[in-house]
Amino acid sequence: MTKTPAMRKVNAELSVVFPLTDECKALVADSDDQWECIIRNQVLPVPHPVGTCKMGSMSDPTAVVDPFLRVKGIKGLRVADASVMPETTTSNTMAPTIMIGERVADFIKNTKKGKTNETK
């Protein structure tokens, strides 16, 4: 990719976060074989920690927050981040985390206006 006209125009360079394994170093640099080796042996998932403050029903003993993101047993405290996701998503957690923030903002606004379905 760095050899395409568009990338050459901006002097793009490949940045390697982890050093190549000996197996991949032994292959011809930038060859299809080396790229396959890198992809098969060095591509790792990025951790997206979730679930440390699990959302669930009031009857779920493992849940920390209710479906309205209120911390159980602590009045006036909500959690609105990836930690409320009971399980990790199969993709990046950024979009769902933004949605969680937007949703809790609606909960708070509606509570202030007296328009809420939240149970006490």
Alpha-carbon span 65 to 90, nearest angstrom: 22
Whether residue 103 contacts residue 92, with contact meaning beta carbons closer than 8 Å, is answered with no
Task: Give the tokens for residue 95.
Answer: 């979009």
Alpha-carbon span 82 to 93, nearest angstrom: 7
Closest by Cα among 95, 85, 100, 94 to 108: 100
Alpha-carbon span 56 to 29, nearest angstrom: 51
Which member of 20, 38, 48, 111 is catalytic?
A: 48
Count of beta carbons in the 10 Å neighbourhood of residue 108: 15
- In the residue annotation, 111 being an active-site residue is answered as no
Catalytic residues: 48
